[in-house]
Structure 1
Amino acid sequence: MAAMIGHQDAEKAFLEAWQGGRIHHAWLLAGPQGMGKGAFAERVARFLVTHGRSGEGEAIPLDDRGDDAAARLVDAGNHPETLRLARQPKDKSKDLARNITIEQIRQMIRRLHLSLSLGEWRVIIVDAVDDLETDGANALLKTLEEPPAKTLFLLVSHSPGRLLPTIRSRCRTLRFQPVARDAMTTWLHELRPMIEMDELRAIVAASGGVPGKALALIDSDVAVMEKKLMAIATSGDPENRLREALAREVGGTSNRARLELVIDIVPGLLSRIARERPIAEIAPILAQWDRVQRTVRDAIRGSYDGAMVGFEIGNCLAELAPRPERAAR
């Protein structure tokens, strides 16, 4: 199986347009973050600058190397006809700016006035177009309304509904949908064959069909965190020790990734508990899931205290512990 997953429909749509000589000037790559939309944009850019004119019905895979000299420039990151716009580091720090700025768009527009120096296509990747500040979005729109010849725009969007409707209307949309569980499980098993299948299935369930999130969950050691959460749900944590440890582990800005991991794991964990309990006990489990969702929503609206969110999620799980009277039946 290919290293990329979830790109099949997008590949087919683009290659059909290329083979038919009718490439739209702007493509909106829309879908959840972590679907590999940026990687797909890079593959399309590489294909165009190494192949040039349309294939006239010729069936060529998207990852075909094409012209070797152009491919070497792409490999080195030096091809003159590919331009990438993304948020840049602030000052000398590693933190990224909040937006893609109007000045970045203006620099891109100045590039568009220059003649092509190599090949037959110029490709502009904006990753992500959601990050454009208002003036930048308006400037990009004007360029999309009057696009230069032989210039392709690839706009990556995690939230296409937030874009200017006029930008969306100028683009052909390629939608990247979450991957089915069976396909994701097979793909991950081929990538990481040493992971136990039970753990792999838990990762797939927590990922929501998003490959990038699944890989992040693997790197976050989801099995260890899942055991900690399950310990709270089975014991009830009567002395609060497990919940306090969880709060410390996910509290603070440096532990944000661990908190997001917990939030990702909990739905699958509650689903597993529900399958193991009698039907009469399903309602309390659903009530705790609603409580978890409210906790996360309130935290996002407020100051997002990770320790508080972690402890409250622990409280929800502790409520599901078997009670003595229940065990005696």
Structure 2
Amino acid sequence: MHKPIIAITMGDPCGVGPEIIMKSFAHDELYAICRPVVIGDAGRLIRAGEICGSTLTVHAIEDLAAATYAPGVVEVIQVGVVPPDLPFGQVSAEGGDAAYRYIERAARLAVAGEVGAICTAPLNKAALHAGGHIFPGHTEMLAHLTGTPEVSMMLTAPGLRVIHVTTHIGLIDAIARIDAGLVQRTIERAHATLAKAGIADPRIGVCAINPHAGENGLFGHGEEAEKITPAIEVLQARGWRIEGPLPADTLFFRAGRGDFDVVVAMYHDQGHGPVKVLGIENGVNITVGLPVVRTSVDHGTAFDIAGTGVADERSLLEALRQAVALADVRAQAAA
């Protein structure tokens, strides 16, 4: 089995990232499916290991050439130094800046083709901004670092995939931003991603904006006809299997029973809610449209429990599995 190198960014050092990384490395499966390397801070990982009762060894390295990927060893490319007394569970400029530096290093490695994928532990947006990096989150930051003009967020959970037309903006702004071109490009990114994952002819369900898909003009101001339907008609003319715009409540019910391979949500909460109902511990965030593979946990820094050792690593493990699957496909396609 081809085992890709996966760069795991530590996220905000004040959050649960260091703990869920140490817990994930305790699973033999991780070494069996990939060659994992952390981009972060060795001292913080050692502290997280002590908190979690880990018996793993943390080994700081300068670059990938020094990595051995030996089971039982957490290899970390050291990027800066986190102050040993930086408290868990608090917003800090130091934590936000560190999280950015880890992503920056991982992006360089991925763009250069030195790693097969990036898998990110969570960062905190307030800390990121306090550290001088004004981005809404990982998705927009990675788009900037890779010179990508437009990307999409795809969330996955058991039995459900959702790609978002808009994400981290207010609802009024989201409706204003949606247009037929953006909807079409989002669907195209979803189609391409599923095709790379082995789903050659995906079934795609597209959400409406308004309740009841506008109910023939009773709700809204014709947004479905203006902003969504033209994109669907263009792609249906290609022979793609697309339905919509459909009322979101009905569409997610049908997706849950297996009618669709992916749902296209128009705004953040329309897509995030159903995924998180299915279990935040199994959710994965995939950035679609980048020149590199990036997956992530589908939860935040959890400052309320950071530093206590109780954080659940299952979302990170699932994100790593998906990173491996997508990295394998990319490697095979490039061969």
Q: Same fold (TM over 0.5)?
A: no
Of structures 1 and 2, the larger Rg is shown by 1
Determine which structure has the larger strand proportion and give its number.
2
> What is the TM-score when the length of structure 2 is the normalising length?
0.24
> What is the TM-score when the length of structure 1 is the normalising length?
0.24
Kindly indicate whether structure 1 or structure 2 has the higher relative contact order, using CA contacts under 8 Å at least 6 residues apart.
2
